[in-house]
């Protein structure tokens, strides 16, 4: 039977928040038990494609992201956590694959297109070669590990599709060497921000971080957007447009959630009390994650050791795949 190899990762540009938790981390924790091999990369090289002028930021967030992984229950015995920049095979593959993809095709990639539009302050009117080409490097990330399953959010689907195209092109020219990966969408959709925005994001200032203290959680929940038409406590509210109700559904018991909605609709529950209850529940929910996080923050040497070991293991795997690729491309020089 074909081995199930899972690979995924994040750009280290900030700490991870509850949107990441529901959108991907929770799913990875489950999936690490269901696959034969599991790789999670900290995509520092990719992070530089839109943060080339801010290397400090990328470097600082590498350890934060690894701590977030460990805190939510990614088990380094099951999942190999590694640093992208320390796998030179990935950079080599990126160069080889760059012949198999046209500039026009990259420019048409919907994810790249959206991001370029959002990053005018970095790129101005003209995007860098590195950023335009990051789907090629992401294809290298995936194929360097023979990955078959790539759990990602919806926004990443065009990147996986582009990777599959590169694989097919490679195989048609050099022989059936690479495996075509499949995207695996997590069950939970992306979760909304405290302000009701469809997306929770660090740049949007509407996120609750896994590292937030109880006080930070409380003050953020107090600022969450509620039904704008509900002005007095006994006005009848509409939980459908209230972010507090939305998060109750995620973090509170079914009973608490249903009671909150019912009382809100009847106008017999105040928003302040409802928010306090929610803040307490979120805080409790995140407590074990927060405590583990604190432990790793106090033991940075453990975090480094996990990352170093993971990177060594990852490197061995990528070297093996590289041997096959070079042989197929007639680049296997100097062999006896």
Phi, psi (5° rounding) for residue 237? -100, 165
The sheet carrying 37-42 orders its strands as 80-83, 37-42, 5-10, 149-152, 182-185
Q: Taking the complex as a whole, how short is the minimal distance between the CB of residue 279 and ligand TRP, in angstroms?
A: 29
Q: Taking the complex as a whole, how short is the minimal distance between the CB of residue 214 and ligand TRP, in angstroms?
A: 29
Provide the mask over 306-325, with x wherever binding to ligand TRP is found by CB under 6 A and - wherever it is not.
--------------------
* Residue appearing with tokens 């790129």: 123
Among 58, 142, 286, 306, binds ligand TRP (CB under 6 A): 142
Q: Taking the complex as a whole, how short is the minimal distance between the CB of residue 216 and ligand TRP, in angstroms?
A: 24
Q: Taking the complex as a whole, how short is the minimal distance between the CB of residue 51 and ligand TRP, in angstroms?
A: 12
Provide the mask over 246-285, with x wherever binding to ligand TRP is found by CB under 6 A and - wherever it is not.
----------------------------------------
Which region, judged by CB under 6 A, interacts with ligand TRP, from 8-16, 28-36, 120-128, 280-288? 8-16
Among 1, 2, 6, 8, binds ligand TRP (CB under 6 A): 8
Instruction: Report the site for ligand TRP in 37-76 (rule: CB under 6 A).
Output: 41, 43, 46
Site size toward ligand TRP, by CB under 6 A? 14
| Interatomic CA distance for residues 201 and 23, integer angstroms | 12
Among 80, 138, 162, 277, binds ligand TRP (CB under 6 A): 138
- Kindly tell me which of 142 and 244 has the beta carbon lying closer to ligand TRP: 142
Q: By CB under 6 A, is residue 5 in contact with ligand TRP?
A: no
Q: By CB under 6 A, is residue 7 in contact with ligand TRP?
A: yes
- Kindly tell me which of 112 and 245 has the beta carbon lying closer to ligand TRP: 112
The token pair at 14 is: 């900030």
Among 5, 6, 11, 67, binds ligand TRP (CB under 6 A): 11
- Kindly tell me which of 260 and 322 has the beta carbon lying closer to ligand TRP: 322
Q: By CB under 6 A, is residue 152 in contact with ligand TRP?
A: yes
Taking the CB of residue 149, how many other CB atoms lie within 10 A of it? 18
Instruction: Report the site for ligand TRP in 160-199 (rule: CB under 6 A).
Output: none
| Interatomic CA distance for residues 81 and 277, integer angstroms | 36
Q: Summarize as ranges the residues that interact with ligand TRP (CB under 6 A).
A: 7-11, 41, 43, 46, 138, 141-142, 150, 152, 156
């Amino acid at each position: 039977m074909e081995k199930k190899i899972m690979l995924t990762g994040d750009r280290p540009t900030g700490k991870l928040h509850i949107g990441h938790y529901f959108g991907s981390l929770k799913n990875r924790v489950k999936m690490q038990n269901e696959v034969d091999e599991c790789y999670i990369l900290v995509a520092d090289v990719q992070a530089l494609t839109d943060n080339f002028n801010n290397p400090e930021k990328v470097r600082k967030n590498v350890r934060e992201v690894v701590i977030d992984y460990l805190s939510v229950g990614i088990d380094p015995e099951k999942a190999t956590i590694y640093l992208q920049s320390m796998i030179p095979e990935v950079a080599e593959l990126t160069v080889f694959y760059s012949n198999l993809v046209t500039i026009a095709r990259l420019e048409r990639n919907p994810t790249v297109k959206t991001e370029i539009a959002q990053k005018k302050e970095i790129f101005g009117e003209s995007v860098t070669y590195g950023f335009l080409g990051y789907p090629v490097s992401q294809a290298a990330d995936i194929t360097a590990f023979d990955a078959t399953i790539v759990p990602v959010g919806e926004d990443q689907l065009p990147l996986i599709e582009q990777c599959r195209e590169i694989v097919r092109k490679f195989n048609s020219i050099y022989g059936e060497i690479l495996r075509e990966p499949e995207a695996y969408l997590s069950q939970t959709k992306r979760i909304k921000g405290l302000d009701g925005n469809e997306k929770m994001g660090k740049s949007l200032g509407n996120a609750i971080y896994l590292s937030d203290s109880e006080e930070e959680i409380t003050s953020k929940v107090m600022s969450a957007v509620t039904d704008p038409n509900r002005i007095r406590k006994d006005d009848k509210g509409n939980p459908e447009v209230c972010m507090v109700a939305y998060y109750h559904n995620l973090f509170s018991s079914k009973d608490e959630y249903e009671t909150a909605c019912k009382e809100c609709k009847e106008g017999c529950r105040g928003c302040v009390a409802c928010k306090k209850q929610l803040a307490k529940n979120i805080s409790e929910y995140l407590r074990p994650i927060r405590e583990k996080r604190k432990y790793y923050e106090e033991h940075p040497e453990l975090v480094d050791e996990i990352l170093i070991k993971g990177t060594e293991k990852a490197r061995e795997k990528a070297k093996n795949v590289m041997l096959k690729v070079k042989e197929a491309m007639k680049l296997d020089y100097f062999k006896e």
